[in-house]
Amino acid sequence: MNADVLTAMDTSTKPTAVAVSRIALTVNGQPRQLELDPRTSLLDALREHLHLTGTKKGCDHGQCGACTVLINGRRINSCLTLAVMHDDDDIVTIEGLSAPEALHPLQAAFIERDAFQCGYCTPGQICSAVGMLAEAKAGWPSHVTPDVASGQIALSDAEIRERMSGNICRCAAYPNIVAAIRDIAGGVSR
């Protein structure tokens, strides 16, 4: 990360220094170069600088999960991290999950199971579900995993609900969200 100081004029026409950080990201498979105020959140960099508006700004405090993206394969609330912290990282947003000719399997399952109503939380829900399925496949236990030593994670409804608890749906489509994830995971029900 390189930081340069640019001179800007404030309202009193006195020069003030504004720090700018140069970062390189791979976003949805595309290399991107950005010059940002080092205080810019990753969420704002994605939405305001790269115009990837699928990632939603909900609470801007890490409480709702609407801004969830995948960074190096792990899910993260993009409102809680600074863009400069992810120099050279691989970032996948909802726009990067599908191919032009086909939806990601979780996107198709959300449609099939009617797992959204207003749709505002859906991009974060889907990105979180992709990350959650990878965590379960890797054997990472959750608070409700019955046998943490086995390394085998059966994605029951309770396990899915616990793992997705950081993503809020104000429309309460939770049963359908769980069903859509279960369809893709092939987990046991209830």
Architecture per CATH, 105-185: Orthogonal Bundle (1.10)
Unique residue bearing structure tokens 């809020």: 168
pLDDT tier, 189 (very low <50, low <70, confident <90, very high otherwise): very low
pLDDT tier, 188 (very low <50, low <70, confident <90, very high otherwise): very low
Domain range list for the chain: 2-97, 105-185
Beta bridge partners of 7: 17
pLDDT at site 41? 98
SS3 8: strand
Query: Could you give the CA distance from residue 157 to residue 101 in angstroms, rounded to a whole number?
Result: 31
Q: What is the pLDDT of residues 49-99, one digit of tens each?
A: 999 999 999 999 999 999 999 999 999 999 999 999 999 999 999 999 998
Same fold, 2-97 and 105-185: no
Q: Do residues 142 and 159 make contact, with C-beta atoms less than 8 angstroms apart? A: yes
Q: How many beta carbons lie within 10 A of that of residue 37, not counting itself?
A: 14
Buried b / exposed e along 74-102 (16+ C-beta atoms within 10 A): ebbbbbebbbbebeebebbbbebbeeeee
Q: Is the pTM of this model over 0.95?
A: no
DSSP one-letter code for 86 = G
Return the H-helix or E-strand segment holding 163.
helix 157-163
pLDDT at site 15? 65
Fold of 2-97: Ubiquitin-like (UB roll) (3.10.20)
pLDDT at site 190? 40
SS3 185: helix
